[in-house]
Structure 1
Amino acid sequence: MKLTSSMVVAMVFMVTATFSRAEKEAWRDHVVAAVRPGSVVARRGLDNDPITQAVLFGQGGGKWSHVGIAVQLIPDGQIYIESAMPGVGTKLEKPEVFFNAEQASAGEVLLIPEDKVDAVQGAAKSFLGRPFDDQLALDDDGKKLYCTELVAVALQSAGVIKNLPMRSTPFLTQKVIAPDDLVAAVRSTVL
């Protein structure tokens, strides 16, 4: 069989595109493997997701649109990501689901100091089953939670962060905790 130059070009393109796609997605395996109990996880949703776009707009751009905390329900058991989602409330997902290609385009894991892991997990697990806070209100004593509120309050109660990193955003009268601000607060505390 004789290969034409256009067939060779097409084959080179396919190999290059496949390698580039695999390299571009390598972050996912790295991030999932880095998840440890008590760690704070952040993800950027997909560019075509309206909630991702609303969160990014609300914080003036930025990198992250959703956060959670890694928890184990039993010692040495499966690690889950606990987060708060609209229409669902607080929920658990395996890390490979939390960071899957249908809902994440980037991710990061922030490890918490070892002496705080149990307190962080305990605080986070105490919020399981809470409804989602569609109003993004911080003044209801945690009866309803949005994702960054869940993580920030758990970290504050465990002594990892002192203050909730709040900001004003367009279209809301109250201050909120933005994902990028929370990630920055965790980074400055644990690094």
Structure 2
Amino acid sequence: MRLIGPVAVAVWLALGSGPAAPRPPSPIPVPVVPATGILDRVPVAALEARLRPADLVFRRGNGLWSGYFAVASGDEGFYSHVGVAVFEGGQWRVVHTEADDRSGIGGVRSDSLAEFLAGARGVAVVRPALNGPQAEATVRLAAAPDWRGIPFDRRFSLDDGGQAMYCTEWVQALVLSATGVDIARPRSRFGGRAIISVDDLRLGPGAVPVLEHRL
């Protein structure tokens, strides 16, 4: 039966004023599910156990520009950022350069491995073709104030004499300056100009894959 007009209003008022008037059901709370990152699948201790000084640590981030950098990275278009593993202050850390997503202002920083991978959707570790003394020289130079003080290159240019550097440029230049070894493939091109892409380092000459996990 369908009630309309004044009759419907009268019935509604009668039901609403009675002692046994039905009440609307309480809303069912919706649980908040935290965003899943790679460290929810792989313990950071398991990753640290595989590291050696001067290893390259890659991540797929979730920042505003991560997808753009992943596409620019080349072959697979997955990883978006890279840094150098160092054992510093009694813990494994990653030295890398990055900038604020919106302002483009940033520089070199040292983060614990857990901080570096927080919220990341993937991680890979690659061991560049360096001998022991070369790896040690790379780690020493990564701690030098001159190298830690280089600002982030928001123009993504290889033609500024190293006055500013983006993440892959900093890693490649660091290893080259410390050892004389160029660990990158021949330069990729993106947007009509030469760049050092993420995969130029990940798939560089003599690079040995150590581990990889993706969501």
> Aligned partners of 2:122, 2:38: CA distance in 1, in Å?
14
Larger helix fraction of residues: 1
> Runs ≥4 in structure 1, deviation > 4 angstroms?
21-24
Check the 8 A contact 2:188/2:195 in 1, yes or no.
Answer: yes
1:185 is aligned to 2:185: no
> Aligned partners of 1:158, 1:79: CA distance in 2, in Å?
20
> What's the CA shift string for 1:130-149, capped at 9, x where partnerless?
11000111122222111101
* Cα separation, partners in 2 of 1:189 and 1:110, compared to 1, 3 Å: closer
Check the 8 A contact 2:138/2:174 in 1, yes or no.
Answer: yes
Deviation of 1:67 (Å)? 0.3
Identity over aligned pairs, percent: 27
Residue number in structure 1 paired with 2:98: 85
2:69 to 24, 30, 55: 55
Deviation of 1:184 (Å)? 0.6
1:31 is aligned to 2:42: no
Gaps of 5+ in 1: 1-20
Gaps of 5+ in 2: 1-36, 100-104, 210-215
* Cα separation, partners in 2 of 1:90 and 1:23, compared to 1, 3 Å: closer
Check the 8 A contact 1:91/1:129 in 2, yes or no.
Answer: no
Residue number in structure 2 paired with 1:157: 177
Number of residue pairs the alignment of both structures matches: 162
> Aligned partners of 1:106, 1:131: CA distance in 2, in Å?
26
Deviation of 1:72 (Å)? 3.9
* Cα separation, partners in 2 of 1:65 and 1:160, compared to 1, 3 Å: farther
Deviation of 1:164 (Å)? 4.4
1:98 is aligned to 2:116: yes
* Cα separation, partners in 2 of 1:35 and 1:22, compared to 1, 3 Å: closer
Relative to the length of structure 1, the TM-score reads 0.72
Residue number in structure 2 paired with 1:117: 135
> What is the root-mean-square deviation in Å for CA atoms of aligned residues?
2.7
> Aligned partners of 1:22, 1:58: CA distance in 2, in Å?
22
> Aligned partners of 1:24, 1:149: CA distance in 2, in Å?
30
Deviation of 1:22 (Å)? 9.3
Residue number in structure 2 paired with 1:14: none
1:64 is aligned to 2:79: yes
> Aligned partners of 2:40, 2:176: CA distance in 1, in Å?
35
Check the 8 A contact 1:27/1:107 in 2, yes or no.
Answer: no
For residue 64 of structure 1, what is the amino acid of its counterpart?
Y
Residue number in structure 2 paired with 1:143: 163
* Cα separation, partners in 2 of 1:23 and 1:124, compared to 1, 3 Å: closer
Check the 8 A contact 2:61/2:121 in 1, yes or no.
Answer: yes
Check the 8 A contact 2:86/2:95 in 1, yes or no.
Answer: yes
Larger strand fraction of residues: 2
For residue 178 of structure 2, what is the amino acid of its counterpart?
A
